[in-house]
Amino acid sequence: MFPQPKAALLPNTYAYESEAMVKPTGFREYDARWLFGKEINLMGVQALGMGLGTLIAELGRPQEIVTGHDFRSYSASIKYALIAGLMASGCKVHDIGLAVTPMAYFAQFDLDVPCVAMVTASHNDNGWTGVKMGANRPLTFGPEEMTRLKEIVLGGEFKGGSGCYVFHQDYPARYVADLTKRTRLKRKLKVVVACGNGTAGAFAPQVMAAIGCEVIPLDTELDHTFPKYNPNPEDMKMLHAIRDAVLQHKADLGLGFDGDGDRCGVVDDTGEEIFADKVGVMLARDMSAITAGAQFVVDVKSTGLFATDPVLQAQGAKTEYWKTGHSYMKRRTNELNALAGFEKSGHFFFNAPPGRGYDDGLVSAIAICEMLDRAPDKSMSQLKDALPKTWSSPTMSPHCDDEKKYGVIDAVVKHFEAAQKHGDLVAGQPIRDLVTVNGVRFTCTDGSWGLIRASSNKPELVVVVESPVSEARMHEMFEAVNLVLRQHPEVGAYNQTI
């Protein structure tokens, strides 16, 4: 039987090449992420595959699975180690080759395969790897499945079997054809398509051109060193590069895709980045004008406009704030049969007719272009400026070790619960509302709010603030949040601040 994994092994030794290494903290709330070579080795990835195949059988699902890999120098090797483990546990593996994550989700429907395991580190820095997994399309694993997978892998509870392997040649053509079998845009849009040299560069330009856009490609050449910036549409470096290209080419908008293509960021025609939650409000306005009483789900990092926007209220739209994380949001959008789910990070989940319930950055990009097509006399900036004004921060992430971050969040939640109970002032005002479904989101009496939660896939916390009052008030909210966090020495430096 396959050896039980160890938490650490010394590199460049016999043991490292002959035993499985899997650091326990790599099992996140809804997917898996490790530093390859330091926290997991290829034998460890094989153990993960065996554990996943064992779990699929335990869940009573057919042992048949789609897999693909993103464009990193080591991703193909990791995928083949994962496939070896899946086959050893009895799975039939459908390999679609180099892919964006939503291509693997699409293949579950297209090939009628129940399960998925996509090898990707998404937008994480080079050196990271990971797997996004699911056994019930269009959903992906949540904490319950990830906890059980961790137990199986770390405990060596593997069940053997005799699997098989099928490679689907030229599979991306089927995905591209599915995305583009729609009415072409009537409006001629000039669009900057930015991919940060990530996997989406192989597909996004041709998809956007096929629906009728004039495409200005930006960093679409595949380069796994990511020479300019990480392909992350929340990263200000990427957004500023898109801004410069939009202004240079006088484009109607800029679209930025993350490393595995399941998220899309937006820059308007004036070169101003629009955070994804505001884009979600614009799309919700557009969609609820067509569908009466539309239901939406948004994550706790998102703008308060989903609850207060007068246009959405007049159109009868209903919105629920839910846990941050693609699996949480996907599941809740599915449970409520919501028209769409919007996450501030740029994960958008469209149910039929636009999508199939999973997050796909290209489906989001198409929806944005179709929104503009339905408003031929409006620019992207005009649609944005029609929203009530708020001042919002980007997502800010101070370092905090995986082993410590949840303890810090527990203490922070208790701090704000006590502040609300005793009527203490936060940033000069009492707390009006408190949401603790995912970390803590506190709202003051003037509608300004702050969020503190633990990142689900990196050793970080997540901080977001917003104010409908002023930019100065937004800064006050950040200072109030930071004051609380600085009481915890485990919390380190931010990746970016306002």
Which of 27, 63, 46, 33 has its CA nearest to residue 135? 63
pLDDT of residue 353: 86
Indicate if the pLDDT at residue 345 is higher than 90: no
Q: Is pLDDT of 109 > 90?
A: yes
Over the chain, what is the mean pLDDT?
95
Domains 182-388 and 392-485 share a fold: no
Residue type for 75, please? S
| Two tokens, residue 40 | 């997991």
Q: Is the model's pLDDT at 264 over the cut of 90? A: yes
Query: 320-331, pLDDT tens digit by residue?
Result: 999 988 899 999
Percent of the chain with pLDDT over 90: 93
Q: Is the separation of the CB atoms in 359 and 344 below 8 Å?
A: no
Percent of the chain as helix, strand, coil, to the nearest 5: 35, 20, 40
pLDDT score of 29: 87
Task: Inform me whether the pLDDT recorded for 381 exceeds 90.
Answer: yes
What is the CATH class of 182-388?
Answer: alpha beta
What is the model's pLDDT at position 443?
A: 95
User: For residue 436, is pLDDT > 90?
Assistant: yes
Instruction: Please determine, for residue 1, whether its predicted confidence score (pLDDT) is greater than 80.
Output: no
Residue pLDDT, tens place only, 383-414: 999 999 999 998 899 999 999 999 999 999 99
Query: What span, in angstroms and rounded, lies between the C-alpha atoms of 478 and 471?
Result: 11
Give residue 473's pLDDT: 98
Question: Of the ranges 33-37, 73-77, 119-123, 466-470, which one carries the lowest mean pLDDT score?
Answer: 119-123
**pLDDT tens-digit profile of 268-320?**
999 999 989 999 999 999 999 999 899 999 999 999 999 889 999 999 999 99
Span 85-112, average pLDDT: 98
CATH classification (class only), 392-485: alpha beta
Residue 223, φ and ψ in degrees, nearest 5 = -155, 105
Return the domain boundaries, the chain.
14-168, 182-388, 392-485
Give 14-168's CATH code, choosing from 2.30.110.10, 3.40.50.300, 3.40.120.10, 3.40.50.2300.
3.40.120.10
Contacts from 141-146 at CB under 8 Å and sequence distance 24+? 141/30, 141/31, 141/327, 142/29, 142/30, 142/327, 142/328, 142/331, 143/29, 143/30, 145/55, 145/59, 146/27, 146/28, 146/29, 146/30, 146/31, 146/32
